[in-house]
């Protein structure tokens, strides 16, 4: 079970109050987690990564285990603590004003 | 009893303001989509409880929301706006070619007949259509593909297609306006387009009467007389009596002819409204007095409407999509400001009162008249 924390504006969009819990089959990577997240909540498609090619949107960041994973390749395995559910995978709206 | 629903898009969410036909007491619902910019909310003329909303943010891009109960509940619809084919380039602010990039939906225009068909005007300027209630969107590429497209440049607010008008009398005829390319007309439901800017004079471009390149801020039409169009240009209020084939200036005695919105009285096709703004550098009313100007002669002769509006220390703006009218017997007129006020007049502009005073900056206002 993977724990995902969405930024506030996306929690509002899909009407979730706290963490999202996902079952991910196979290797736990940023791509597989985001695929599972968008399958659960189709309205998130295009709001975290582009529809075409899946590139991360510029003002969205990915953190876990006190590391910035935003620039890691999407198929790199996530830390074991995330894969085991001990630590959440954080999707963050960058501090960019507004 | 008849009623009115006013749909308000703001920098930080959408609001639905409701009243009975007297328009004296208002129920305020919102914010919907709190924290998100809502550029536009509009209802279907064919099914008034079907609403569409354009919701966006710098973090997470575009979302389209749909309601089937007049804005009580909403569901996200499709948000993929892919330009047809290889998008090509337009001019950037510095004159260099810049790839067409989707930024946001500025304006949603539901079909006059089919609640599931809706048009979207987007930045960078393009026209999209959905025929499945907003679930999927296809570009009508002929507008962006017009031979002048590579020369279009953005206005200060971005290169936005902000106005879509569907002609109720001539099948297939529609109008669109783009900042800063100008006005365009299609007579075949968007399959082909041509610029309709003859008569416009813009001193801020190299060729003041060029075929394209004009910063048209807004178009308006009365449905009973669709060959007459009104335009608020960057500077100048204009009128066309031949569906855009030619334009002439009707700024007349306005204190300034710069502004953003323009709208037409619901029952008097020659009664029009604008909100003069000091200048392109000073986006606030002249002398700090918020005045709507009304012409009952289709332009040229204007009167200031001030009753109930602040007449000192007022430095708000009224954006291009932030004025609307209802169709009750005494026409209601509504507008929202960048200061968060939404003003209403139940007597065609003679007197005004705020419905709300402290919303986030208002981006758009639409009015629905309900049975």
Rounded to two decimals, the ipTM of the complex is 0.90
Closest CA to B155 of B199, B81, B90, B248: B90
**Are B82 and A12 in contact (CB < 8 Å)?**
no
Of all residues in chain B, the percent with pLDDT exceeding 90 is: 96
Residue of A nearest to B102 (CA): A50
pLDDT, tens digit, 9 for 90 and up, residues B190-221: 999 999 999 999 988 889 999 999 999 999 99
Strand (E) or helix (H) holding B200: none
Query: Looking at the predicted structure, is the pLDDT value of residue A43 above 50?
Result: yes
Domain locations in chain A as residue ranges:
2-93
**Are B79 and A13 in contact (CB < 8 Å)?**
no
Q: Are B270 and B297 in contact (CB under 8 A)?
A: yes
Tokens at B1, concatenated: 């009893």
Look at residue A94 in the predicted model and tell me its pLDDT: 86
pLDDT, tens digit, 9 for 90 and up, residues B238-255: 999 999 999 999 999 999
Measured between beta carbons, the chain B residues lying within 8 angstroms of A15 are none
Q: What is the pTM of this model?
A: 0.96
Superfamily of domain A2-93: Beta-grasp domain (3.10.20.30)
**Are B60 and A9 in contact (CB < 8 Å)?**
yes
Instruction: Say yes or no: A96 contacts chain B, CB-CB below 8 A.
Output: yes
B13 — pLDDT class (breaks 50, 70, 90)? very high
Strand (E) or helix (H) holding B138: strand B138-139
Look at residue B253 in the predicted model and tell me its pLDDT: 98
Q: Are B233 and B220 in contact (CB under 8 A)?
A: no
Rounded mean pLDDT, A75-81: 97
Q: What is the rounded average pLDDT for all residues in chain A? A: 93
Tokens at B19, concatenated: 């009243």
Rounded mean pLDDT, B32-48: 97
Query: Looking at the predicted structure, is the pLDDT value of residue B53 above 70?
Result: yes
Query: Looking at the predicted structure, is the pLDDT value of residue B32 above 70?
Result: yes
B20 — pLDDT class (breaks 50, 70, 90)? very high
Mutation for testing the A interface, residue in B33, B60, B122 having most A CBs under 10 Å = B60
Domain locations in chain B as residue ranges:
41-311
Instruction: Say yes or no: A10 contacts chain B, CB-CB below 8 A.
Output: yes
DSSP states of B149-197 = GGG---BTTBSEEEEEEE-SSSTT-EEEEEETTEEEEESSTTSS-EE--
Mutation for testing the A interface, residue in B61, B73, B78 having most A CBs under 10 Å = B61
**Are B59 and A93 in contact (CB < 8 Å)?**
yes
B184 — pLDDT class (breaks 50, 70, 90)? very high
CATH topology of domain B41-311: Methylamine Dehydrogenase; Chain H (2.130.10)
Q: What is the rounded average pLDDT for all residues in chain B? A: 97
Of all residues in chain B, the percent with pLDDT exceeding 70 is: 100
Lowest mean pLDDT among A93-97, B92-96, B198-202, B307-311: A93-97
Q: What residues of B are in the A interface, CB distance below 8 Å?
A: 33-36, 57-63, 76, 79-80, 82
B157 — pLDDT class (breaks 50, 70, 90)? confident
Query: In this complex, how many residue pairs, one in chain A and one in chain B, have their CB atoms less than 8 Å apart?
Result: 51
Query: Looking at the predicted structure, is the pLDDT value of residue B312 above 70?
Result: yes
Look at residue B246 in the predicted model and tell me its pLDDT: 98
Look at residue A98 in the predicted model and tell me its pLDDT: 47
Look at residue A97 in the predicted model and tell me its pLDDT: 54
pLDDT, tens digit, 9 for 90 and up, residues B257-308: 999 999 999 999 999 999 999 999 999 999 999 999 999 999 999 999 999 9
* Contact residues for B174 (Cβ-Cβ < 8 A; gap 6+): B119, B164, B165, B166, B167, B185, B186, B189, B190
């Amino acid at each position: 079970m993977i724990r995902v924390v969405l930024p506030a504006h996306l929690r509002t969009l899909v009407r979730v109050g706290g963490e999202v819990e996902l079952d991910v089959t196979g290797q736990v990577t940023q791509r597989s987690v985001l695929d599972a997240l968008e399958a659960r909540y189709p309205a998130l498609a295009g709001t975290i990564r582009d529809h075409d090619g899946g590139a991360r949107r510029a003002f969205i960041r990915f953190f876990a285990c006190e590391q910035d994973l935003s620039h890691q390749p999407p198929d790199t395995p996530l830390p074991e603590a995330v894969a085991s559910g001990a630590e959440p995978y954080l999707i963050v709206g960058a501090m960019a004003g507004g | 009893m008849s009623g009115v629903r006013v749909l308000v898009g703001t920098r930080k969410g959408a609001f639905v303001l409701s009243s009975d036909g007297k328009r004296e007491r208002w129920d305020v619902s919102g914010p919907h989509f709190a924290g998100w910019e809502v550029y536009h909310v509009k209802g279907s003329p064919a099914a008034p409880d079907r609403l569409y909303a354009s919701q966006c943010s710098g973090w997470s891009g575009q979302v389209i929301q749909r309601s089937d109960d007049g804005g009580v509940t909403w569901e996200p619809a499709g948000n993929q706006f892919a330009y047809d084919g290889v998008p090509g380039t337009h001019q950037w602010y510095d004159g260099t070619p810049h790839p067409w990039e989707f930024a946001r939906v500025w304006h949603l225009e539901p079909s006059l007949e089919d609640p599931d068909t809706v048009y979207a005007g987007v930045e960078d300027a393009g026209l999209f259509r959905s025929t499945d209630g907003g679930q999927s969107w296809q570009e009508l590429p002929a507008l962006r593909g017009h031979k002048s497209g590579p020369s279009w440049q953005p206005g200060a607010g971005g290169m936005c297609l902000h106005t879509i008008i569907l002609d109720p009398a001539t099948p297939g005829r529609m109008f669109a306006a783009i900042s800063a390319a100008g006005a365009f007309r299609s007579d075949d439901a968007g399959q082909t387009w041509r610029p309709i800017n003859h008569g416009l004079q813009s001193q801020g471009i190299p060729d003041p009467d060029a075929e394209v390149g004009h910063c048209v801020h807004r178009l308006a039409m009365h449905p009973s007389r669709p060959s007459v169009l009104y335009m608020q240009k960057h500077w100048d209020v204009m009128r066309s009596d031949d569906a855009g084939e030619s334009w002439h200036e009707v700024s007349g005695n306005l204190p300034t002819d710069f502004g953003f919105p323009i709208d037409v009285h619901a029952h008097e096709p020659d009664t029009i409204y604008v909100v003069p703004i000091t200048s392109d550098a000073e986006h606030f009313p002249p002398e700090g007095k918020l005045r709507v100007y009304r012409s009952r002669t289709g332009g040229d002769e204007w009167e200031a409407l001030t009753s109930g509006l602040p007449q000192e220390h007022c430095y708000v703006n009224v954006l291009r999509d932030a004025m609307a009218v209802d169709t009750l017997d005494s026409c209601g007129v509504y507008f929202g400001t960048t200061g968060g006020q939404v003003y209403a007049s139940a007597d065609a502009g003679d007197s005004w009162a705020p419905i709300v005073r402290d919303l986030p900056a208002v981006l758009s206002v639409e009015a629905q008249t309900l049975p």
